């Protein structure tokens, strides 16, 4: 990659993410629907035990997390124009312990940074964002995954920020099927037309596009040839 194009990386990742998503749309949608069906237990449990939200944690930790790690691998393969299949979303179970631990540690680190101030949480999220990619893609240890993410995101963290801000905005602005009543620890299933449309948009358009864009960023940053060019004088 030419050094002068570095400032255009966010646009490049967004554009390539969208184009790749469209190219594989008919393959991705069934996978996403199956993934959502397998993880739909989380909102159901949150709704059922609205005052005991911890009831959803075992399902989230033991089932949803490995599936999410596998979904990362699925998008990584497509971002590389490699053959991907439904079976990839179950690959997280092959590294079950590492998949769970890297996700939990990453989540706790981001939560801790957010509790201090929001900005430290975002910085931590960006620095170690690809730990949950490397652990399944490179089949490396938990510690190595965090080190690898910190290494490849160095000097590119501000570029990755745009993807995170877009993802946060989508989640905040798009109505969901779980409605939280402010001032009360009560969650309700929300099947209004706006909620259904919003859920469809976030499930089939926004999130897969952003996940593909992040996968494109990971593929680019993990390219060793790119690292050599990054060290060129004048960069």
pLDDT digits (tens, 9 = 90+) for 148-205: 999 999 989 999 999 999 998 887 777 666 555 544 444 556 677 877 888 889 999 9
DSSP annotation of 203: I
Query: What is the average per-residue pLDDT within 121-147?
Result: 96
Range of the domain at 23: 3-220
Residue whose C-alpha is closest to residue 14's, from 203, 222, 159, 223: 159
Would you say residue 191 lies in a domain?
yes
Which range has the top average pLDDT, 44-58, 107-121, 139-153?
Answer: 139-153
- The packing angle between helices 207-221 and 65-79, to 10°, is 70
**Res. 7: pLDDT tops 80:** no
Q: In angstroms, rounded to a whole number, what is the distance separating the alpha carbons of residues 59 and 183?
A: 26
Query: What is the average per-residue pLDDT within 134-155?
Result: 96
Cα 132 from chain centroid (whole Å): 8
Q: What count of other Cβ atoms lies within 10 Å of the Cβ of residue 169?
A: 11
DSSP annotation of 6: G
Residue 231: what pLDDT? 43
202 and 175 Cβ atoms separated by less than 8 Å: no
When comparing pLDDT for 61 and 67, which is higher? 67
Would you say residue 125 lies in a domain?
yes
Residue 48: pLDDT band (50, 70, 90) is low
Would you say residue 108 lies in a domain?
yes
Would you say residue 226 lies in a domain?
no
> How many structural domains compose the chain?
1
The mean-pLDDT minimum among 122-131, 187-196, 203-212 falls in 187-196
Residue 51: what pLDDT? 56
Residue 182: what pLDDT? 46
Would you say residue 234 lies in a domain?
no
Would you say residue 55 lies in a domain?
yes
Would you say residue 24 lies in a domain?
yes
Would you say residue 122 lies in a domain?
yes
pLDDT tens, position by position, 22-45: 999 999 999 999 998 898 776 666
- Give alpha helix (H) positions in the chain: 9-23, 25-39, 41-48, 57-59, 65-79, 96-116, 118-127, 131-137, 142-153, 157-173, 193-201, 207-221, 224-230
Cα Rg for the chain, rounded, in angstroms?
18
């Amino acid at each position: 990659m030419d050094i002068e194009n570095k400032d255009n990386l966010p646009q490049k990742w967004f554009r390539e993410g969208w184009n790749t998503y469209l190219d594989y749309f008919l393959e991705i949608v069934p996978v996403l629907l199956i993934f959502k069906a397998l993880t739909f237990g989380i909102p159901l449990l949150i709704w059922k035990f609205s005052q005991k939200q911890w009831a959803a944690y075992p399902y989230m930790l033991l089932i949803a997390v490995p599936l999410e790690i596998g979904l990362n691998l699925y998008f990584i393969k497509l971002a590389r124009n490699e053959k991907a299949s439904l079976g990839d979303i179950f690959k997280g179970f092959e590294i079950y312990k590492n998949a769970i631990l890297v996700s939990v540690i990453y989540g706790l680190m981001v939560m801790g940074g957010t509790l201090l101030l929001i900005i430290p949480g975002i910085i931590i999220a960006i620095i170690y964002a690809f730990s949950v990619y490397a652990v399944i893609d490179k089949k490396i240890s938990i510690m190595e995954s965090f080190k690898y993410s910190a290494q490849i995101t160095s000097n590119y963290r501000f570029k990755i920020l745009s993807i995170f801000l877009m993802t946060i905005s989508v989640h905040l602005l798009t109505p969901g099927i779980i409605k939280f009543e402010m001032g009360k620890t009560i969650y309700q299933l929300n099947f209004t037309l706006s909620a259904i449309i919003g859920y469809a948009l976030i499930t089939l358009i926004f999130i897969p596009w952003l996940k593909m864009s992040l996968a494109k960023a990971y593929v680019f940053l993990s390219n060793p040839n790119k690292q050599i060019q990054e060290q060129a004088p004048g960069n």
